[in-house]
Amino acid sequence: MTFTINSEIMERKNILTSLLLILALCAGIQAHANDPIWKQNFDKEVEWPKLAPNGILLVGTSDWGLHGVDASTGKLLWSNEKYYNSAKKLKGADGKKIDYSENLIQILEHPDDPSVSNYALVRYTDYQMVKNIVLINLKNGEMIIDPETAGMPVMRMLGQETAYFNYGGSGYVPSLKGVMISGEGADPKTGKAFTITKFIDLNSGKVAWENNEIATQMLPVMTEDGSMLIVGAKQIAKLSPTNGSIL
């Protein structure tokens, strides 16, 4: 009888031990399932996240820092705020600071070419003194071009430096898979007139062509024969999208 009772006690202990092991295993699995695959900490509050088709997460923080994160691993690829630091001065109609939006930071996309999404365009203006346009590589955060590096003169007014360019004529041209930067006027330092239109091909990430005869006030209009119409302040020209020559 004693043997039978001890056997029953041992059997109950084994069952209880097995149940505890199962519960512990389940708890461990659940805890593991609740763990993040990755996490990335920032010094300032995250205000604007945008996932690019190429798997890079573009993050804007409250200090107007811009960060590129590998969305699959969480690795911080780069951080920089210099590209659009003066956008801090932008205010809306209500007098408050403008938040992040597609109007400020545009991840470029093309339905037939995913490599276009390796680039983002930082583009903003208050239509008075503050304006800028910067093309950056999302993989490494490097600047491809901005008005100053494109050869536009820099103006200084009330302590604010702004490279002169035509805001309406500078931006992404999806049909050509490239970015146009254009400007005209008088160099405030030398007084000499300047006219510059540059086209950056996104397949190569380099300036494809430059035209010093006409600047555009709006993005080009494509014609049926594949050419483009450039609308300047006082003239309109038909250009070749291949080399920028006037047709």
pLDDT at 1: 46
Of 14, 171, 41, nearest in space to 106 by CA: 171
At 83, the pLDDT band (50, 70, 90 cuts) reads: confident
* Segment 68-73 mean pLDDT: 92
Largest Cα–Cα separation, the chain = 113
Task: Please give the residue that has the higher pLDDT: either 157 or 24.
Answer: 157
Tell me if the pTM is above 0.85.
no
Express each pLDDT in 2-46 by its tens digit.
444 455 555 555 554 554 455 555 555 554 555 668 888 888 888
183 pLDDT higher than 50: yes
91 pLDDT higher than 50: yes
* Segment 191-209 mean pLDDT: 90
Most confident of 1-15, 46-60, 98-112: 46-60
90 pLDDT higher than 80: no
Give domain limits for the chain. 1-35, 36-239
pLDDT at 16: 47
67 pLDDT higher than 90: yes
* Segment 198-220 mean pLDDT: 92
Are 26 and 34 spatial neighbours (Cβ–Cβ below 8 Å)? no
Distances (CA, A) of 200 to 11, 142, 144, 178, 180: 78, 15, 9, 5, 6
Task: Please give the residue that has the higher pLDDT: either 207 or 14.
Answer: 207
pLDDT at 140: 93
* Segment 73-77 mean pLDDT: 93
Task: Please give the residue that has the higher pLDDT: either 64 or 27.
Answer: 64
Distances (CA, A) of 2 to 5, 11, 13, 14, 170: 5, 14, 17, 18, 94
pLDDT at 19: 47
Of 95, 94, 82, 92, nearest in space to 148 by CA: 82
Express each pLDDT in 108-152 by its tens digit.
999 999 899 999 999 888 777 788 899 999 999 999 999 988 888
* Segment 160-181 mean pLDDT: 90
* Segment 85-102 mean pLDDT: 74
* Segment 164-178 mean pLDDT: 92
In this prediction, what percent of the chain has a pLDDT beyond 90? 43
Task: Please give the residue that has the higher pLDDT: either 159 or 22.
Answer: 159
Task: Please give the residue that has the higher pLDDT: either 12 or 205.
Answer: 205
